[in-house]
Structure 1
Amino acid sequence: MEEIKKYPAQNDVAVLLIIFSRTETLKRTFGGIRQCRPSRLFIYQDGPRNDQEALKLEAARQIVDDSEIDWECDVQRSYHNENSGAWLSNHKAQTWAFSLADKVIVLEDDSTPSLSFIPFCKEMLDRYEHDERITMIAGFNHEEQTDAPYDYLFTTAFSIWGWASWRRVFERCEVGYPIADDAFNMHQLEAYVANRHEGGKEMLKKLYKHKAAGNPIYETLIWTACTLNSGLTIVPTKNLIHNTAVSEESAHFQSSLNTLPKAMQRLLTMPSHELQWPLRHPKYVIENVEYKRRIYRIMAWGHPWVKIGRSIEELIRNLRYGNMKQIREAVKHRISKLTGRYDYQ
């Protein structure tokens, strides 16, 4: 049988693709990866929760089958029979990927990259590989486009919708959350959050919950690794990720788009853009504090009246569309937060 000739790889970098059961979003995300042709591709899939879901997982695997990879690529797969849950399986996927490569780009199946995302991450991974000040590279820009004379900025306010980092950073993730048992340094972290990082207050609550549950959840692990080492994240001045997370199969946004507040609708429908090369690099490595303040306003971190207004807006939208189930869930969510029983996962 004649061997099918494959296209050469375009970007010498490793990409971790975390898949599950959502075939339509996976097609778009994998399509973006395929166009950029990374030299290494790691595909991770958690196990099914029931027999019906097992069929969906198999359909997702077919989308990323060897027959669909038409470029020269070192492909590694880690498919599982048992279900670990979305958060824990993400941590397992990242642990596996960083055991295989020093520098990894991470995409979930609902984060569709622009054509600039992978080459942008590769250039940043190479340029700042040994710069201990930099801990993360994010592809999502909450503003869509930020007015700046450079193509990226430095911040401590970022999203993990499409990101990249180094093994040197991932190895700082302390799985057992020992910081929670370290009274002196935990006090330093709490004081830092209180004075400079309003967005971290929810993360501190999650940290304690994850510690108590004994679960290594990548969201809090990465946040503590970055924050405890005064790390900065690189964010492009143009958004490079289109998130398609809203669906009943979503791990994080189980809702319909039209019942969400307009601010959230904007984030979840935000288009991605392309960058021009050569990139314009910042002259100094310093946090863009004004960007962080604007992101806090967008996400309602440290803005209780904004959060209350959005809760009211969401209630009205759910009433308009007769979504009583979502209203009941929102009430339970609010009560559990007020009584301290909310599961921060």
Structure 2
Amino acid sequence: MDAPLPLPTVTPRAPIALFVYNRPEHTRRTVEALAANEGAAASPLFIFSDAPRTPAASPLVEQVRAYVRTVTGFAQVTVVERSTNMGLARSIIEGVSDLTGRFGRAIVLEDDLATAPGFLSFMNDALDAYADDPRVLSVCGYMYPVMFDTPADTLFLRAPHSWGWATWKDRWSLFRSDGAALLQALEARQLLGAFDANGPHDYTRMLKDQIAGRNDSWFIRWYAASLLADRMSLYPVRSLVSNIGIDGSGVHCAEWRFDPYAVQLQGGRLKVEVAEPVESPAAKATLARYYRRVQWLRYVNFAYRKLAPLRRLVGWTDPARQTVRP
């Protein structure tokens, strides 16, 4: 049985939950970027290291664990080494529940997310600003590579995001693990159309796959619960997070030859001003055009991966992965 987390210390900064597995280089880049954040030295960091799923995964898991045991630069570093393989969904669900239960809030990252220097400041400012507004489900650090016509540094969207996010204990209590019950509720309230419209993925299919055991997504259940509760999530207008793991190295992420998610990170600090949590029609329309492009590129990337044996047969050398702008 894994040891319980230590009792919380008094800290003005939200605790950071970092979930790692078997990618030492991605983990190093994630930690180094996070340590370079303004406010990192005042932030407690909890690193949750999942156990290997198979014996073959053990060497890389051990490399990751050897590295994270050396991490410094934070108010405190607590490494939680799981004794059995939990999988990503259970790891995140239990880790976030532990931290929000102890601290009342948490910032959540995975081992393939590079953050801008202003990420922690933005997340903490937003957690403070909306702590007493239950209409705001979460704070998200990633923003798609689009341009918004707005003077504000933030906006609200109906769907949360999983690439660098934060929430509060009372909002996390909305999470439901029963995917079948969530799907039934979405169908009963005729919300499946809205469910699929708020992002570049087929979320209904993703939820059905989770129910059938074909994926292990915690996020799809978090999003479904959010939509059913009519909550909003706060985003920066320019991204503070970059996903460095869309390279085929992760358990849950295939390689994209043409990457529509690549972003240039925000350089300076973004201002968080309290605003009414409503979705901008203009922002929604801008994102809808982007989502259609991503869906088209999904087929292009799928075809590219399927042609891999033919490319190897003819000896074609693939140039570097390309970034595709909307």
Scaled by the length of structure 1, what TM-score is found? 0.75
In the other structure, the counterpart of 2:316 is none
In the other structure, the counterpart of 2:79 is 77
For the residue of structure 2 that corresponds to 1:12, the secondary structure is coil
2:292 matched to 1:290? no
Give deviations 1:220-265, integer Å, cap 9, x for gaps: 221122111111111101111111112342122232x4xx3x3xx1
For the residue of structure 2 that corresponds to 1:322, the secondary structure is helix
1:53-202 map, 5 Å: 53-65=57-69, 67-73=70-76, 75-177=77-179, 179-180=181-182, 186-188=187-189, 191-194=190-193, 198-199=197-198, 202=202
1:9-24 map, 5 Å: 12-24=13-25
> How many Å apart are 1:59 and its aligned residue?
1.4
1:249-260 map, 5 Å: 249-255=249-255, 257=256, 260=257
For the residue of structure 1 that corresponds to 2:29, the secondary structure is helix
2:309 matched to 1:315? no
Over aligned residue pairs, what C-alpha RMSD do you find?
A: 3.2
For the residue of structure 2 that corresponds to 1:107, the secondary structure is strand
| Alignment counterpart, residue 46 of structure 2, candidates 22, 42, 46 | 42
For structure 2, the 5+ residue unaligned runs are: 1-9, 314-326
In the other structure, the counterpart of 2:206 is 206
Cα separation, partners in 2 of 1:324 and 1:49, compared to 1, 3 Å? farther
> How many Å apart are 1:186 and its aligned residue?
4.0
Percentage of identical aligned residues: 21
For the residue of structure 2 that corresponds to 1:27, the secondary structure is helix
In the other structure, the counterpart of 1:266 is 260
Cα distance in 2, alignment partners of residues 240 and 197 from structure 1: 25
For the residue of structure 1 that corresponds to 2:174, the secondary structure is coil
- Do the aligned residues in 2 keep the contact of 1:150 with 1:282 (CA within 8 Å)? no
- Do the aligned residues in 1 keep the contact of 2:137 with 2:167 (CA within 8 Å)? yes
- Do the aligned residues in 2 keep the contact of 1:246 with 1:254 (CA within 8 Å)? yes
Higher helix share: 1
For the residue of structure 2 that corresponds to 1:270, the secondary structure is coil
> 1:299 corresponds to which letter in structure 2?
Y
In the other structure, the counterpart of 1:333 is none
Q: How many residues align?
A: 300
Give deviations 1:41-78, integer Å, cap 9, x for gaps: 1111111023342221121122222x4313432x3332
**Which shows bigger deviation, 281-290 or 159-168?**
281-290
Cα separation, partners in 2 of 1:10 and 1:241, compared to 1, 3 Å? farther
- Do the aligned residues in 2 keep the contact of 1:91 with 1:217 (CA within 8 Å)? no
> How many Å apart are 1:34 and its aligned residue?
1.5
Give deviations 1:120-164, integer Å, cap 9, x for gaps: 000000110110110011111102543311110011145311111
For structure 1, the 5+ residue unaligned runs are: 1-8, 326-345
Cα separation, partners in 2 of 1:288 and 1:251, compared to 1, 3 Å? farther
**Which shows bigger deviation, 85-94 or 43-52?**
85-94
Cα separation, partners in 2 of 1:309 and 1:276, compared to 1, 3 Å? closer
Cα distance in 1, alignment partners of residues 300 and 75 from structure 2: 52
For the residue of structure 2 that corresponds to 1:105, the secondary structure is strand
Scaled by the length of structure 2, what TM-score is found? 0.79
Cα distance in 1, alignment partners of residues 133 and 81 from structure 2: 34
